[in-house]
């Protein structure tokens, strides 16, 4: 019927279609979900605006009968380009309203709107060499090229008290400040977005003008999600997660290990870039340096806020150092860090 390969659409649970949308990223696919309910469809996440992704959606729409009037809403988990990029295309194709959490909408129109933000001073302050910082800053122009947002009507804010049929809408911080996760209590299904992934640990990054302690927010979110009854996790990338609580425990351990490694590494003052160089010993692409530094910063700020690491500014650069017992001011000659 169409030239669609059989694994583009899979059906992990009754009435739930998982769609593999190709994205030009190392992760290769964004998984969207088409959830059927009372002969209407809810669509979750979209992909980047590329010709391949548009073609995939056109084939899938024909195959599943996603037409104007059949698609009641499109939900987007968070502002990242691989989730929101096709927003305008989706609005045109299905003539359906698009929704996100309100604060996430502000971010999306800021980042992909006309203004550009200059990240170079921030990255240089944290020790990144000028040329690399300039490259990382330029990435935003690639990102902008794969995102097209509807102007009228724009993406609409979800009401925090909304449920959608049997689905609960969760607002979870850490990966971004307000990621939308869908929870279906009766069926014990959790659409995990990028909050929980099967193999890689989701990126938790510190950037200017966002959550100043994203790792703490993320760990708190994981502890909340851990106690939900969940039989299957349906993520936006990689494989389906059969054991969500078990996977959450692994991710928490990963962050504990990394925090301990950082504490061991910085007995001398280090910029965040220098810490990242020691943590990530395999060669990184310029693209990966962006995340290496912003993730390291999330950890360093987490440790600083818990008084395990000190911070000082010297010559317009920020330096972090593990707070050692013998440096702590105390008449008894040292304080336990607990
Ligand atoms: Zn993401």
CATH number at residue 298: 1.10.10.10
Whole-number Å distance, alpha carbon 89 to ligand 1 midpoint, is 20
Ramachandran sector of residue 252 (left: φ over 0; alpha: ψ -120 to 50; beta: rest): alpha
- Does 338 reside within a domain? no
Distance of CA 175 to CAs 193, 222, 290, 294, 305, Å? 10, 11, 15, 12, 19
60 burial level (CB within 10 Å; 0-12, 13-18, 19+)? buried
Helix (H/G/I), strand (E/B), else coil: 300: helix
CB 137 within 8 A of CB 123: yes
In this structure, the answer to whether residues 207 and 295 fall within a common structural domain is no
Residue 334 lies in a domain: no
**End of a domain among 231, 255, 279?**
255
158-174 pLDDT, tens per residue?
Answer: 987 777 789 999 999 99
Ligand 1 centroid to Cα of residue 9, in Å, is 21
- Distance (angstroms) between ligand 1 centre and the Cα of 86 equals 15
- What's residue 188's pLDDT? 98
**238 and 300 both lie in a single domain:** no
Domain end (from 222, 237, 255) = 255
115 C-alpha vs ligand 1 centroid, how far in Å? Answer: 21
Q: Are residues 250 and 109 in the same domain?
A: yes
Q: List the CATH number of the domain containing 135.
A: 3.60.15.10
| Per-residue confidence (pLDDT) for residue 302, from 0 to 100 | 98
Domain residue limits at 316: 262-327
Q: Which residue has the tokens 């997660």?
A: 241
Position 335 scores a pLDDT of 35
Confidence at residue 337, expressed as pLDDT on a 0 to 100 scale: 36
Instruction: Say how many Å lie between the CA of residue 279 and the centre of ligand 1.
Output: 22
- Residue at which a domain ends, from 255, 287, 308: 255
Distance 30 CA to ligand 1 centre (A): 10
Whether residues 155 and 222 share a domain: the answer is yes
Is the domain of 194 the same as that of 313?
A: no
In a domain, residue 148? The reply is: yes
d(CA 194, ligand 1 centre) in Å: 5
Q: How far is the CA of 284 from the centre of ligand 1 (A)?
A: 20
**What is the 249 CA–ligand 1 centroid distance (Å)?**
20
Q: What is the DSSP string of 122-136?
A: HHHHTT--HHHHHHH
Q: Output the CA 108–ligand 1 centroid distance in Å.
A: 12
14 CA from centroid of ligand 1 (Å): 26
* Chain segment 244-263, per-residue pLDDT in tens: 999 999 999 999 999 999 99
Domains contained in the chain, number: 2
Note down pLDDT in tens along the chain; length 338 residues.
455 777 999 999 999 999 999 999 989 999 999 999 888 999 999 999 999 999 999 999 999 999 999 999 999 999 999 999 999 999 999 999 999 999 999 999 888 877 777 899 999 999 999 999 999 998 878 888 999 998 878 899 998 777 778 999 999 999 999 999 999 999 999 999 999 999 999 999 999 989 999 999 999 999 999 999 999 999 999 999 999 999 999 999 999 999 999 999 999 999 999 999 999 989 998 888 999 999 999 999 999 999 999 999 999 999 999 997 655 544 443 333 33
Is residue 274 located within the same domain as residue 246?
A: no
CA–CA separation, 190 vs 196, rounded Å?
A: 10
């Amino acid at each position: 019927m169409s030239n669609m390969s059989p694994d583009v659409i899979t059906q992990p649970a009754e009435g739930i279609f998982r769609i593999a949308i190709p994205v030009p990223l190392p992760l290769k696919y964004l998984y969207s979900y088409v959830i059927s309910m009372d002969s209407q469809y809810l669509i979750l996440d979209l992909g980047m605006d590329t010709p391949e992704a548009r073609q995939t959606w056109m084939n899938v729409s024909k195959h599943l009968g996603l037409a104007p009037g059949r698609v009641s809403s499109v939900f987007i988990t968070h502002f990242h380009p691989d989730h929101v990029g096709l927003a305008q295309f989706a609005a045109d194709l299905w003539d359906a309203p698009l929704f996100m959490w309100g604060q996430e909408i502000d971010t999306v129109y800021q980042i992909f709107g006309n203004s550009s933000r200059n990240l170079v001073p921030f990255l240089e302050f944290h020790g990144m060499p000028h040329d690399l910082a300039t490259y990382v800053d330029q990435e935003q122009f690639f990102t902008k090229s794969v995102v097209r947002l509807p102007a009228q009507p724009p993406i609409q804010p979800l009401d925090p008290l909304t449920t959608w049929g049997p689905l609960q809408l969760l607002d979870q911080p850490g990966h971004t400040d307000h990621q939308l996760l869908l929870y279906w209590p009766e069926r014990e299904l959790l659409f995990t977005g990028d909050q929980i992934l099967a193999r890689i640990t989701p990126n938790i990054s510190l950037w200017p003008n966002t959550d100043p302690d994203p790792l703490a927010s993320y760990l708190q979110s994981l502890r909340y999600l851990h106690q939900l009854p969940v039989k299957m996790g349906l993520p936006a990338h990689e494989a389906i997660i059969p054991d969500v609580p078990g996977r959450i425990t692994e991710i928490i351990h990963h962050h504990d290990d990394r925090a301990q490694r950082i504490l061991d590494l910085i007995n001398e003052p280090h910029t965040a870039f220098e810490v990242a160089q020691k943590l990530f010993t395999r060669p990184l692409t310029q693209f990966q340096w962006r995340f290496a530094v912003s993730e390291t910063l999330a950890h360093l700020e987490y440790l600083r806020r818990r008084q395990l690491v000190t911070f000082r500014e010297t010559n317009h650069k920020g330096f972090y150092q593990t707070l050692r017992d013998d440096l702590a001011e105390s008449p008894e000659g040292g304080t336990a860090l607990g």
